[in-house]
């Protein structure tokens, strides 16, 4: 009989312990999600900064960092994800890739212009011949990619739609 009472007491205390550990696991899970969300937001902003720096630095790519920022914001903060998609310059990179359209012709022209300016500065101002050859190879490779890759259709303007309706 004493053994039966002991078993009841132990089973009650075990249930109480299991309940408390479940509560602790839930609190730990919530705090982990908050920490992960904050880290993803920080990673998103660092990616945006690196992407913007990549616009003017020829060997630092812009698009992968902007796409990484979109991924981080989509996983952590709907507010910052909406902001990034609505951004007039940065949002177009993400929209083009998520819709699988590619870069627009305007984006290709901008990339070609900026990379030509930056890489030509390397060629003209660097006395090291190897640096000049590397810059030339990068430029030819980038131009070949821009020419051969699929271009996104130009967005239809409101004026164009109104002209079609009138005629």
11-61 per-position pLDDT tens digit:
555 555 555 555 455 555 556 677 888 999 999 999 999 888 887 776 677
Range of the domain at 78: 39-101
For residue 88, being part of any structural domain is answered with yes
Domain shared by 66 and 51, yes or no: yes
Instruction: For residue 165, name the pLDDT band (cuts at 50, 70, 90).
Output: very low
CA distance 28 to 33: 9
For residue 12, being part of any structural domain is answered with no
**Domain boundary, last residue among 86, 101, 116:** 101
Domain shared by 117 and 94, yes or no: no
Domain shared by 97 and 107, yes or no: no
Instruction: Return the CA Rg of the chain.
Output: 28
Domain shared by 70 and 57, yes or no: yes
Which of the pair, 92 or 97, is modelled with greater confidence?
Answer: 92
Give the pLDDT confidence score for residue 45 in this predicted structure. Answer: 94
Domain shared by 130 and 108, yes or no: yes
| pTM for the predicted model, two decimal places | 0.48
For residue 22, being part of any structural domain is answered with no
Domain shared by 45 and 57, yes or no: yes
Domain shared by 54 and 71, yes or no: yes
Domain shared by 45 and 95, yes or no: yes
Take residue 141 and report the two structure tokens written for it: 């490779």
For residue 112, being part of any structural domain is answered with yes
For residue 5, being part of any structural domain is answered with no
Report how many domains make up the chain.
Answer: 2
For residue 128, being part of any structural domain is answered with yes
For residue 25, being part of any structural domain is answered with no
For residue 20, being part of any structural domain is answered with no
Q: At what angle do helices 78-86 and 90-98 cross, to 10 degrees?
A: 100
Report helix, strand or coil for 9.
Answer: helix
């Amino acid at each position: 009989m004493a053994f039966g009472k002991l078993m009841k007491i132990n089973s009650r205390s075990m249930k109480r312990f299991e309940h408390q550990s479940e509560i602790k696991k839930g609190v730990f899970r919530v705090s982990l999600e908050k920490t992960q969300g904050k880290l993803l937001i920080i990673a998103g902003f660092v990616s945006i900064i690196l992407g913007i720096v990549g616009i003017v630095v020829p060997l630092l790519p812009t698009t992968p960092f902007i796409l990484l920022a979109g991924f981080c914001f989509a996983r952590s903060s709907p507010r910052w994800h909406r902001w990034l998609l609505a951004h007039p310059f940065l949002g177009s990179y993400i929209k083009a890739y998520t819709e699988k359209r590619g870069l627009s012709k305007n984006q290709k022209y901008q990339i070609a212009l900026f990379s030509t300016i930056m890489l030509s500065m390397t060629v003209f101002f660097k006395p090291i011949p190897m640096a000049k050859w590397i810059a030339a190879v990068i430029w030819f490779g980038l131009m070949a990619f821009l020419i051969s890759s699929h271009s996104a259709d130009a967005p239809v303007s409101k004026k164009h739609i109104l002209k079609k309706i009138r005629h």
